[in-house]
Amino acid sequence: MNADIGLADPDNSVLPFGKFDALHTARFVMIEDPSLGDRIEHARSYPVHEPDWLIFLAVCDGSADRLITDMERSASKGLASLFCNCIGFDPEIPIGQWMSEHRLKPDASYRNWPGRSMVQIREEAALHHALLKTQLANREASLGELNQRLREVGRSVPLTPIPRPSITERVANCLSFLSLPVAALLLAPILLVLLLPFLIILRLRETSDPVLAHKIDRERNNALMALEDHDITNPYSAVGSRKPGPFYFMFSKVALWVINWGARHIYSKGRLARVNTIHFANWVFLDSNRRLFFASVYDGSREAYNDDFINKVAFGLNLSFTSALGYPRTRWALFEGARHEEDFKRYLAHHQVPTQVWYKAFPNLSTYDLARNARIRAGLEKPLKGTALRRWIAEI
């Protein structure tokens, strides 16, 4: 399915990703968990062996059901040739129905800019390209003349109106926003009673749980690096076991619910805390909640990505992964943890798995490019003067 190492062929014969206009990114990952051996000594209540998963992860506009229907219509044979290797596959069942039955809903998701569709991304990229050509061809023009020519060219580029959320969507979003404060208010009496026992148990666990900082396997790390940096954007896939016991089960479920709420209502305008290079991220529990699969899409190198997490959003990493077996030692679930840089990077290297097939519908465009193109479009749609006009032209 790949055109080159680390990059899928949009027109491959198995699943031609380029046919699906609503598709942003997609990946196939064959999970052979390199960290299962940690269970032998530190999670004996868990089975030592787990199934190897074939995961298909797609980010798309609209509903997943619609994407599955479109894929069934265009690539049913190719999909069947992949999923027929999975336990429980039934060739008599339509492939779309089989995929829907085996679909897993993420426990938490992050989107860089909710509502930005592939139509908008492509049209705004075309607009920027046309305006840039015009600006370069009119370097000697005055500010007024350049502005006039840019706007003439801009009006000739087709731009689909950006849809506004429907009343139903706004009501659903409002109810989702209220879910956390309402739940906290209703459960406040119970939470206050449980707070002290929870903090005591948490701190006892944090100070006694093992830290598994395995030495980085250089050969395996080189194989992972060979799949990276073929575009300005990279995929990241990792899997690991949850610490056993009901305490960490409940903690991880609540933590991811809070992260999902925050990603939807607080970090929804291009930044995850102070990190603006992440396009998408998903947390999905596997194997009856014994393992957690994490997948993200980010700009730049893996080293810079890890450093951004350590320096800018360590508290979020700690909250989501302190319940993971072997994670660097945290304090009150928010502090330290990822700040133990060497332990943290060894932990990541131990749990990362290769992304065998990776597709991105907007190659060579970063989150910065997408945001800049949106600002250029916004500037085209309103009159600008003085400093605002100069700033707009400088962005082109």
6 pLDDT above the threshold of 90:
no
CB 367 within 8 A of CB 278: yes
Residues 6 or more apart whose Cβ sits within 8 Å of residue 81: 14
pLDDT score recorded for residue 274: 85
CB 295 within 8 A of CB 236: yes
Q: Which helix (H) or strand (E) holds 26?
A: strand 23-31
CA dist 307 and 274 (Å) reads 12
5 pLDDT above the threshold of 90:
no
273 pLDDT above the threshold of 90:
no
Residues 6 or more apart whose Cβ sits within 8 Å of residue 1: 8, 9, 12, 14, 15, 28, 357
* pTM (predicted TM-score): 0.95
User: Alpha-carbon torsion 121, 127, 129, 131, what sign?
Assistant: negative
CB 113 within 8 A of CB 366: no
pLDDT tens track for 344-379? 999 999 999 999 999 999 999 999 999 999 999 999
* Of the candidates 386, 362, 391, the residue with the CA atom closest to the CA atom of residue 376: 391
**Residue 82 token pair:** 């992949």
Mean pLDDT, residues 118-139 taken together: 97
pLDDT tens track for 193-206? 999 999 999 999 99
Mean pLDDT, residues 317-341 taken together: 96
Name the residue ranges covered by the structural domains of the chain.
2-116+163-360, 119-162+366-395
pLDDT tens track for 41-87? 899 899 999 999 999 999 999 999 999 999 999 999 999 999 999 99
**Residue 143 token pair:** 């500010």
Report DSSP letters for 139-165, one per residue: TTS-HHHHHHHHHHHHHHS--PPPPPP
DSSP label at residue 363: T
DSSP label at residue 227: T
Q: Residue 396: what residue type?
A: I
CB 350 within 8 A of CB 259: no
Q: Which of the four pLDDT bands, split at 50, 70 and 90, describes residue 34? A: very high
- Residue 142: is it exposed, middle or buried by C-beta count within 10 angstroms (0-12/13-18/19+)? exposed
DSSP label at residue 116: -
CA dist 207 and 105 (Å) reads 33
Pairing of strands 291-299, 233-241: antiparallel
CA dist 388 and 99 (Å) reads 50
User: Alpha-carbon torsion 123, 125, 127, 129, what sign?
Assistant: negative
Q: Bridge partners of 291?
A: 241, 286
**Residue 250 token pair:** 């409940």
